[in-house]
Amino acid sequence: MKKYLIALLMVCFPALAIAAGGAAYPMDTFKADLKNQESLQRGMGLFVNRCMGCHSMEYQRFARSGEDIGIPDDLMEEYLILGEQGINDQMTISMDKDDAEGWFGAPPPDLSLEARLRGGEWIYNYLRTFYRDDAARFGVNNAVFADVGMPNVLEDLQGVVVNHCTHEELLARGGFTGTLDPLTGTRSGQCLQVQAGTGSMTPVEFDQAMYDLTNYMTYVGEPSKLQAHRIGTYVLIFLVIFTFVAYLLKREYWRDIH
Ligand code: HEC
């Protein structure tokens, strides 16, 4: 009985289940903004160009994304549909699952529901904390996903990240936190450090890009949320108008009684 209760608790509060898995990386916060169309559009651009070589989004169609986040069909076809696919096709890829398993050890999973599985915060931190590790298979490791089987496909943007800490320290102190000097306002002693001049983006630009990408993945996890927001506005407008009409009707009925 007790076991069932614990299982029930973990289903209701997924954070408990994650916490039970030992020390967790202290995440930087991420808050999705589904109203920010430009962010969602940039995020989709990054996903198609950087991730769809290996990951599909089988539950999402190009056309649905375009409609929801405001990308016209002609631009979508010209810039975001890279293969033979059409606008109404699902965002699948041609990589064979068995081949992929052979290359990477684990096949790159479909990412349609990733944001619902892991949460935006996890993805946002995961994408920013790849670091060089000569002992690892692809020469990279990750602060959030230890011994990850995914190569760092973002290194040319972020730059080469070196890790000065052990894995335990990384979990205890976080990657980029370090100690803040209250006098100068500068941080030092961060575990993860980007080697200057090795990436095409500044740290702020890179964080923004990963924000956009995570934002888009959050939208794909629950596309109807955007629609619900839009419909919600119309419902509220309707209610206001209807209340006014009902009020006029009430006045009309009561006029004879008074
Ligand atoms: C070269 C192929 C490749 C590319 C490109 C790639 N990935 Fe991956 N990815 C993988 C593999 C392989 C795994 C499985 C890693 C494992 O389980 O150890 C993975 C795992 C992941 C996971 C964790 C899945 C989970 O919950 O276990 C996320 C999130 C992810 N990738 C996001 C991305 C994003 C976002 C991009 C684009 C910036 C991207 N990937 C580009 C190969 C790739």
Residue 51 beta carbon below 6 angstroms from any ligand 1 atom:
yes
Long-range contacts (CB closer than 8 Å, 24 or more residues apart) made by 16-24: 23/168, 23/171, 23/172, 24/171
Task: Name the residue type at position 127.
Answer: L
pLDDT tens digits for range 121-135: 999 999 999 999 999
Question: Which of 77, 79, 61, 67 lies closest to 40 in space, CA to CA?
Answer: 67
Residue bearing the CA closest to ligand 1, atom 39 = 51
Residue 124 is predicted with a pLDDT of 98
Residue from 44, 50, 55 to probe ligand 1 pocket by mutation (most atoms less than 8 Å from CB): 55
pLDDT tens digits for range 148-186: 999 999 999 999 999 999 888 899 888 988 787 888 877
Kindly report the three-state secondary structure assignment for every residue of 137-202: CCCEEECCCCCCCCCCCCHHHHCCEEECCCHHHHHHHCCCCCEECCCCCCEECCCEEECCCCCCCC
Q: What pTM did the predictor assign?
A: 0.84
Residues forming a β-bridge with 131: 141
Residue 175 beta carbon below 6 angstroms from any ligand 1 atom:
no
Q: Dihedral sign, CA of 224, 34, 148, 137?
A: positive
